[in-house]
Amino acid sequence: MVILNWVALLIALTTSVGLLLQRDWRWGIGWLATQYLSIFWLVQTHWPISMAAAKLVTGWMVCTVLVIAQENTNPAEETELSWPQGRLFRLFTSGIILAATFALSLRASVWLGLSLPIAWSSLLLIGMGLLQLGISAQPFRVILGLLTILAGFESLYAAVESSILVAALLSSVNLGLALTGAYFLNMRQEEHP
Amino acid sequence: MSAPFLWIFLPLFVAGFLLLIRNQKVIALIACIFTFLLTLAAWLLPIDTPMTIGNFYFKLSPSFEILGRHLILSSSDRSLLVLIYGSAIVWFAAAPSIKTARRMTSLGLAITALLVAALAVEPFLYAALLIEMAVLLSIPFLSAPSHKPGNGLIRFLIFQTLAMPFILFSGWLLAGIEANPGNLGLVQQAAILIGLGFSFLLAVFPFYSWIPLLTEESSPYTVGFILWIFPTVILFFGLGFLDHYTWLRDATSLRSILTTVGILMVVSGGLLSAFQRHLGRIMGYAVIMETGFSILSMGLGGTRGLNIFFMLLVPRSLCLVVWAIALTILKEHSATLYLKDIKGFGRSLPFVTSGLVLANLALAGIPLLAGFPPHQAIWEGLASTSLPVVIWVLIGSLGLLFSAIRVMATFAAAPERTHWESRETGGQRIFLAIGFLALLLLGLFPQWVLPLWTNLPAIFTHLGQ
């Protein structure tokens, strides 16, 4: 079981870096969908599997909403306008986040009574989401960043809170963010018919 | 029937129903009548007390169970419901005259209901999730599908979303503090998380950059509504924190922190408003100042601070309504809301320009206007503890006053021989005239709104005592 937590951490790392580096939305949503697999695994260590599965289902619904919205948008608008755009820079900053979250997770795991891979994965996702928000102004990327932050937070929060209402509201927030993302993409679509 | 069903779920159903109707006037009429009935019910119907009308017997129960948790609206919450839904009527009533009824009333009613739910949910920390849902609903409310999402809108979404994890996590820490009050490390961590959470939620300095951006890029009326309802509800949520946790309420540094944050907001908001060339941005900075004044009143502490906090609510919502209506009408007649494009509008839109300047002056705390009595009470309260603080607050207010004079001068700068006319519609004139009459009357007779907030302290078990 412990080794699977490390596998979940590896998936979280790969997918969050992938989300940061992707330039094609298809890859972005693919990485996000895979990321929810690791969230499912991390959450099920504290919650019953049926409740943890709700996270996975919600996550994949989020991805579906974003795919449908993206299918209807103009691909010409995919270019990233913010600085910096270089993949090397993003990889470098990801490395910094990885190191910083490792240092933090050593303390957080003791503080929250979590195993190291769970604490590290959660903090890593939060950090990578914040990085995504910091270096991009594109609405689609902003939504991906917010979803990544929430994913990290949810896996951390699951350790301390197991209320069904909270789980339901967090799922609604995730779906709401996806719908907001779809709305943003639709707004741009109407701008350029 | 339960009170949460009446004031939370029913408005949500009606909001959904309003989305199906196309006629703007019908939508506004239904929304106004419905909101008025909700206000009247909050004013008249006791909660958790049996009532008999003829052969009809009923009782409004205060609690509604949902997924193992509760939404609770007790009798002490009735004044707050009157205030929230009563103010919402004003926003909804003016909407058709400025052609924003459809989005304004349906989504506005849903946002109001969600924020009332945020104040009613137990454990109260879950409010952060309901506030986030209201934020998500605000996105289509603030921006029409035909416009590209602006930076202000995206920052609003980011900052408000970031607040939620901080508040939820602080809740877990606070539960730990209740079990182990001597753990100072835990207290410090919880205080930092709460501070960050509320800084994002209330758009405290330096996290308020989205407000001027949003007021510049979105419809002033919808932004005005958001800038009225969110800070109001979040401030009540913040007071709930203070009321609930003794260690937080009794913390020695709390008052100085609140005063410092309040001054930062008042001074930065006031001074920055003086240098703005866009009327929407001036309104945004005025709202930042007002949040600062509310935080300052919380910093005064005791029942006195709480009373001043409540005194600020009605004049603020009135000023914001008038300001937002005026800006929306002005936007219809001008290419932009930049000062260069509205020169001399005083002669063609006298009601709009008068309303805008009066609302601006009222929020700057000018005597004889609605904002003066609460602002004067704050100055008096601050002066009894520290004079430099009052001088800083005065500097902030002077900044907003300067912006009002600048705007007034721009409106008056009409070419010679320009005739006086009134290009506003009849409905717009009526709303604006009522608005600035109310601004004057509330300045002269502030005691008239006393019944609206005298029962509000009862919401809080400890703060209100």
Residue B465 lies in a domain: no
Tell me how far apart the alpha carbons of residues A39 and A12 are, in angstroms, rounded to a whole number.
8
**B5-49: per-residue pLDDT in tens?**
999 999 999 999 998 888 888 888 999 999 999 999 998 888 888
- pLDDT: which is higher, A137 or B36: B36
Of B122, B140, B172, the one marking the end of a domain is B122
Residue B464 lies in a domain: no
Q: How confident is the model at residue A176 (pLDDT cuts 50, 70, 90)?
A: very high
Same domain flag for B84 and B178: no
Tell me how far apart the alpha carbons of residues B422 and B21 are, in angstroms, rounded to a whole number.
32
| Closest CA–CA distance from residue A190 to any residue of chain B (Å) | 6
Q: For residue B406, is pLDDT > 50?
A: yes
A57, two tokens: 């289902």
- pLDDT: which is higher, B252 or B15: B15
User: DSSP secondary structure string, B166-203?
Assistant: HHHHHHHHHHHHHH-TT-HHHHHHHHHHHHHHHHHHTT
Total of domains in chain B: 2
Question: Rounded mean pLDDT of chain B?
Answer: 89
Residue B33 lies in a domain: yes
Q: For residue A83, is pLDDT > 70?
A: no
Q: How confident is the model at residue B223 (pLDDT cuts 50, 70, 90)?
A: very high
Which positions in chain A touch B165 (Cβ < 8 Å)? 126, 149-150, 153, 157
SS3 sequence of A43-87: HHCCCCHHHHHHHHHHHHHHHHHHHHHHHCCCHHHHCCCCCCCCH
Q: How confident is the model at residue B350 (pLDDT cuts 50, 70, 90)?
A: very high
Question: Rounded mean pLDDT of chain A?
Answer: 87
Confirm if B289 and B392 have CB atoms less than 8 A apart: no
Most confident of B10-14, B126-130, B412-416, B420-424: B10-14
Element (H, E) at B312: helix B302-333
Whose tokens are 């002490």? That residue is: B76
Q: Pairing relation of β-strands B69-72 and B63-66? A: antiparallel
Query: What's residue A193's pLDDT?
Result: 41
Whose tokens are 């604490």? That residue is: A119
Same domain flag for B92 and B189: no
**Burial bucket for residue B440 (CB in 10 Å: 0-12, 13-18, 19+):** middle
Query: What's residue A82's pLDDT?
Result: 53
The H-assigned helical ranges of B77-150 are 78-94, 101-120, 127-142
Residue B280 lies in a domain: yes
Tell me how far apart the alpha carbons of residues B42 and B4 are, in angstroms, rounded to a whole number.
11
Which positions in chain A touch B161 (Cβ < 8 Å)? 146, 149-150, 177
Same domain flag for B408 and B322: yes
Kindly give, in sequence order, each residue whose CB lies less than 8 Å from that of residue B223, ignoring residues fewer than 6 positions away. Answer: B142, B214, B215, B280, B283, B284, B324
Which domain range does residue B376 map to?
123-459
Same domain flag for B265 and B405: yes
Query: What's residue A192's pLDDT?
Result: 45
Task: Report the SS3 class of residue B350.
Answer: helix
Same domain flag for B83 and B135: no
Of A163, A173, A179, the CB nearest to B132: A173
- pLDDT: which is higher, B358 or B188: B358
Considering Cα of B360, then B364, then B367, then B369, what sign does the dihedral take? positive
Of B57, B87, B122, the one marking the end of a domain is B122
Q: How confident is the model at residue B186 (pLDDT cuts 50, 70, 90)?
A: confident
CA B254 to the chain's CA centroid: 23
Residue B436 lies in a domain: yes
Q: For residue B448, is pLDDT > 80?
A: yes
Same domain flag for B244 and B111: no
Element (H, E) at B10: helix B10-18
Return the closest-CA partner of residue B374 out of B436, B318, B432, B455.
Answer: B318
Tell me how far apart the alpha carbons of residues B127 and B115 are, in angstroms, rounded to a whole number.
8
Query: What's residue A40's pLDDT?
Result: 93
**A84-115: per-residue pLDDT in tens?**
567 888 889 999 999 999 999 998 888 888 88
Same domain flag for B45 and B22: yes
Whose tokens are 């979590």? That residue is: A114
Same domain flag for B191 and B255: yes
Q: What is the ipTM of this complex?
A: 0.91
Residues B85-102 have a mean pLDDT of: 84
User: DSSP secondary structure string, A19-42?
Assistant: HHH--SHHHHHHHHHHHHHHHHHH
Q: For residue A77, is pLDDT > 70?
A: no
Q: Per the CB < 8 Å rule, is B157 touching A146?
A: yes
Minimal-distance CA residue of chain B relative to A173: B133
Same domain flag for B286 and B397: yes
Same domain flag for B134 and B116: no
Give percent above pLDDT 90 in chain B: 55
Same domain flag for B382 and B280: yes
Of B70, B91, B122, the one marking the end of a domain is B122
Q: A183 in contact with B at a CB cutoff of 8 Å?
A: yes
Residue B230 lies in a domain: yes
B299, two tokens: 């910093």
At position A10, the amino acid (one-letter code) is L
Query: What's residue B465's pLDDT?
Result: 62
**B99-145: per-residue pLDDT in tens?**
777 778 889 999 999 999 999 988 888 889 999 999 999 999 998 77
Interface test with B, best of A65, A156, A169, A174 (most B CBs within 10 A): A169
Task: Report the SS3 class of residue B61.
Answer: strand
At position B185, the amino acid (one-letter code) is G
Q: Per the CB < 8 Å rule, is B161 touching A150?
A: yes
Residue B146 lies in a domain: yes
Residue B287 lies in a domain: yes
**A151-162: per-residue pLDDT in tens?**
999 999 988 888
Sheet of B63-66, strands arranged across: B63-66, B69-72, B121-122
Tell me how far apart the alpha carbons of residues A52 and A32 are, in angstroms, rounded to a whole number.
17
Q: For residue B364, is pLDDT > 70?
A: yes
**B270-319: per-residue pLDDT in tens?**
999 999 999 999 999 999 999 999 999 999 888 888 889 999 999 999 99
Task: Report the SS3 class of residue B71.
Answer: strand
Same domain flag for B225 and B369: yes
Q: For residue A190, is pLDDT > 70?
A: no
